[in-house]
Structure 1
């Protein structure tokens, strides 16, 4: 095993009105990757609200993180992070999206 240091600061915004303060949590020069799962964040309008809150920032998206996400799915996101020089990960969704995004950050 190789020695390493991992620093993954995490902030969770949760609840009604949390999206309003989202922009204040992201550095202006960040290259943001929004991660999300299936259709529920689209159907409920949450993804659109997040997109609106982040207008003017450099944002990419990675959707389709399935429940208990596969290694292959998450490695596609890791490759996107590398290719696009992403500096900020924003998970929008439930437990599998949050866990998958933690994997992406650690990879």
Structure 2
């Protein structure tokens, strides 16, 4: 067999790529949204991306959650979930700023904030998020293309306390 086989591909994620495109955020995020920005250890502050994002988000109510690790840890992500649940979740838009681990963690947050099947959020992970019926919308400012998480519906969540590392996936987790 030679050549590429026939296939049909669909992906609901919009990709805006190129120099200066961070300035397009106000055209992509509805004006009435509360932007909850997630990021990692601070490289976005050192490389100038943080300042560009904050400049683009002038006029929005912005909340930040930094410190998401490579191989995002469940216990870290739960803290963001509990913070967001104090907000008007009908207005929250998640913005992942970083690489694949930040995207993966933000997908968990998106589903966990609205997860109602169990009080224990780890249950959501152990069902691989298949039982999620709703999720907060999220966008991505990608700083390191490597995993494809910026345009797919899957992620990996770690639980260092028990040495678990589990996949999650749900069509609700596609970045918009």
TM over 0.5: yes
Query: Who is 1:91 aligned against?
Result: 96
Deviation at 1:85, TM superposition (A): 2.5
Query: Who is 1:4 aligned against?
Result: none
Gaps of 5+ in 2: 1-11, 113-176
Deviation at 1:81, TM superposition (A): 1.1
* Alignment TM-score, normalising by the size of structure 2: 0.53
- RMSD across aligned positions (CA): 1.5
Structure with greater Cα Rg? 2
Instruction: Show CA shifts across 1:8-54 (max 9, x none).
Output: x7545444222011111111110110000012101001011100110
Larger helix fraction of residues = 1
Q: Which one of 68, 92, 96 corresponds to residue 71 of structure 2?
A: 68
Gaps of 5+ in 1: 1-8
Q: How many residues align?
A: 99
Query: Who is 1:57 aligned against?
Result: 60
* Alignment TM-score, normalising by the size of structure 1: 0.85
1:103 maps onto 2:108 in alignment? yes
Choose between structure 1 and 2 for higher RCO, CA contacts under 8 A separated by at least 6 residues.
1
Larger strand fraction of residues = 2
1:43 maps onto 2:46 in alignment? yes
Task: Give the 3-state SS of the residue equivalent to 2:38 in structure 1.
Answer: strand
CA distance in 1, matches of 2:53, 2:60: 12
1:80 maps onto 2:83 in alignment? yes
Runs of 4+ in 1 over 6 A off after TM superposition: none
